[in-house]
């Protein structure tokens, strides 16, 4: 009938050997079109449910891996080579692939957790290094000025002296940390109000953006140091509450220049070690990425894409097996095109490699009790127009198919809509691009050799 009317369908019973039922279902799925009826719809007996659950977990891991690959610059997954996968799909085994995916997932999660911890620690080290560097600058500037005032000193020398002497500094408390530049003014006002003007806050801007340890985002920040009277007490508690409310990161403020210098040297060494550890993680990710996106040759899928297609195929096969009933042999009612009956019987008679067991198809002698499904055979050209018709409604079995009229009238009407040279040129260029990339776009559309309902 072709595109004029749906194919003539026949109803029958497919009998499969239990041990090799999976291989026969794969053979039928790759070679012909067949629709299966659920023989276990009433009692919900799903013998192969555990396999589908395992494949669901494998697909979850694959989604995780695809997400990780999307974050790696330059990682391109080769797709859409379905025919090549079907030819080489026998190279993959469910148990082996499941174990491989679980091991890979465990490695990825472990390395990601370690890298996340390293990233947080590195960001904290960078912020503390900025705090210590600011402290060293302030303490060095204060220590360079004379601590004793003389009557004959110049105004310039007097202006460079610290406002507080060392004994006064010893009676002061101080808290230091890092605050976003955008919050500087609000933070200073909150401290002033909480302390009733009894604190002095000094900000030193960080000239480069710093990754926040909590969010991981690069933010413009400043080092702050808060001076207040008394090394401890109620005032310190108030200031700590304000700092906690703003969510600032607190760090120890060095007591003198010597301790600041030692701490700065230690922080630089720690930062270098953590940077090398993070580079090792990046190298691991690159090596794993190259392994996952590798292909067997030109015109083949990436390794991870073959895994994804394998899971789809296995899940479809086991879903069909769940529709079968029986113990010694599996039986299932099927619909198939009448003109494909001889081909199906020949496939079942030939069997599968590695076994002498056969499967057979028994057509019903009486007419079907239910309405046959609609199966419309299409090709690369007519499938698009059939999609347009299906958006309005799929024709019933043996009902006239309006896709033939759409194949003729749709391009004509579409051409009248864009009858000017400008739109026509754009459509021509777009059509040429589609034709040139037909192979890569072939499996991105739902078109296939037939339409079923």
| Of 129, 110, 321, 283, the residue nearest 208 (C-alpha) | 129
The DSSP output letter for 295 is B
Given this model, what pLDDT does residue 166 score? 46
Calculate mean pLDDT across residues 209-227. 81
- Separation CA 373–CA 145 (nearest Å): 95
Given this model, what pLDDT does residue 53 score? 95
State pLDDT tens for residues 33-57. Answer: 899 999 988 887 788 999 999 999 9
Question: 414 with 387: CB under 8 angstroms?
Answer: no
Given this model, what pLDDT does residue 147 score? 34
Summary mean pLDDT of the chain: 82
**Would you tell me how many other CB atoms lie within 10 Å of the CB of residue 229?**
14
Confidence of residue 73 (pLDDT cuts 50, 70, 90): confident
| End-to-end CA gap in the chain | 16
Flag whether pLDDT at 216 surpasses 60: yes
State pLDDT tens for residues 137-149. Answer: 877 764 333 333 3
| DSSP calls for 2-36 | TTSBPPPEEEEEEEEEGGGHHHHHHHHHHHS--EE
Calculate mean pLDDT across residues 198-225. 83
Given this model, what pLDDT does residue 357 score? 81
State pLDDT tens for residues 338-363. Answer: 988 999 988 888 877 767 788 889 99
Flag whether pLDDT at 151 surpasses 70: no
Question: 313 with 23: CB under 8 angstroms?
Answer: no
Given this model, what pLDDT does residue 143 score? 39
CA 394, 395, 398: angle at the middle one, nearest 5? 145
- Separation CA 35–CA 451 (nearest Å): 11
* 179 phi/psi in degrees, rounded to 5: -135, 145
State pLDDT tens for residues 184-210. Answer: 899 999 989 988 888 888 898 888 887
Q: How many Å separate Cα 128 from the centre of its chain?
A: 33
- Separation CA 321–CA 316 (nearest Å): 9
Query: Higher pLDDT residue, 276 or 420?
Result: 276
> According to the per-residue pLDDT averaged within each range, which of 139-143, 296-300, 350-354, 415-419 is highest?
296-300
Query: Higher pLDDT residue, 226 or 1?
Result: 226
Identify the weakest region by mean pLDDT among 28-32, 202-206, 324-328, 407-411: 407-411
- Name the pTM for this structure: 0.72
Identify the weakest region by mean pLDDT among 72-76, 403-407, 437-441: 437-441
> According to the per-residue pLDDT averaged within each range, which of 142-151, 163-172, 227-236 is highest?
227-236
Residues 6+ positions from 136 with CB-CB distance below 8 Å: 254, 257, 260, 261, 264
Given this model, what pLDDT does residue 3 score? 65
Given this model, what pLDDT does residue 378 score? 84
Calculate mean pLDDT across residues 385-395. 87
């Amino acid at each position: 009938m072709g595109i004029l009317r749906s194919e003539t369908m026949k109803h029958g019973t497919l009998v499969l050997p239990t041990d090799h039922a999976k291989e026969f279902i794969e053979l039928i799925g790759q070679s012909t079109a067949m629709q299966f009826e659920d023989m276990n719809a009433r009692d919900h007996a799903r013998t192969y449910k555990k396999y589908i659950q395992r494949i669901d977990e494998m697909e979850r891991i694959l989604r995780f891996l695809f997400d990780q690959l999307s974050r790696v610059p330059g990682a391109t997954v080769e797709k859409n080579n379905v025919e090549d996968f079907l030819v080489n799909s026998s190279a993959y085994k469910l148990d082996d692939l499941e174990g491989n995916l679980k091991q890979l997932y465990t490695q990825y999660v472990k390395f990601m957790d370690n890298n996340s911890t390293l990233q947080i620690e590195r960001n904290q080290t960078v912020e503390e290094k900025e705090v210590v560097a600011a402290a060293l600058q302030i303490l060095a500037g204060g220590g360079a000025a004379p601590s004793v005032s003389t009557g004959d000193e110049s105004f310039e020398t007097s202006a460079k002296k610290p406002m507080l002497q060392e004994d006064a500094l010893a009676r002061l408390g101080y808290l230091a940390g890092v605050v976003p530049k955008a919050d500087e003014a609000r933070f200073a006002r909150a401290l002033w109000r909480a302390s009733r003007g009894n604190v002095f806050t000094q900000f030193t801007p960080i000239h480069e953006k710093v990754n926040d340890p909590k969010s991981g985002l690069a933010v413009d920040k400043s080092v702050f140091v808060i001076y207040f009277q008394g090394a401890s007490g109620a005032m310190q508690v108030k200031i700590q509450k304000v700092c906690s409310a703003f969510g600032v990161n607190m760090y120890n403020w060095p007591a003198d220049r010597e301790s600041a210098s030692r701490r700065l040297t230690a922080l630089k060494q720690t930062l270098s070690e953590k940077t090398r550890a993070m580079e090792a993680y990046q190298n691991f990710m690159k090596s794993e990425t190259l392994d996952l996106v590798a292909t067997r040759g030109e015109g083949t899928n990436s390794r991870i894409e073959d895994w994804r297609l394998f899971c789809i195929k296995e899940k479809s096969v086991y879903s069909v097996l769940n529709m079968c009933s029986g113990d010694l042999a599996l039986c299932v009612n099927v619909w198939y095109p009448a003109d494909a009956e001889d081909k199906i019987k020949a496939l079942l008679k030939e069997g599968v490699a590695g076994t002498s067991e056969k499967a057979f198809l028994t057509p019903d002698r009486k007419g079907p009790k239910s309405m046959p499904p609609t199966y419309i055979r299409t090709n690369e050209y007519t499938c698009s127009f059939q999609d347009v018709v299906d958006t309005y409604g799929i024709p019933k079995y043996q009902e006239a198919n309006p896709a033939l009229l759409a194949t003729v009238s749709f391009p004509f009407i579409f051409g009248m809509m864009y009858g000017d040279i400008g739109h026509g040129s754009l459509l021509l260029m777009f059509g040429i691009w589609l034709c040139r990339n037909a192979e890569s776009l072939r499996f991105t559309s739902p078109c296939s050799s037939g339409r079923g309902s």
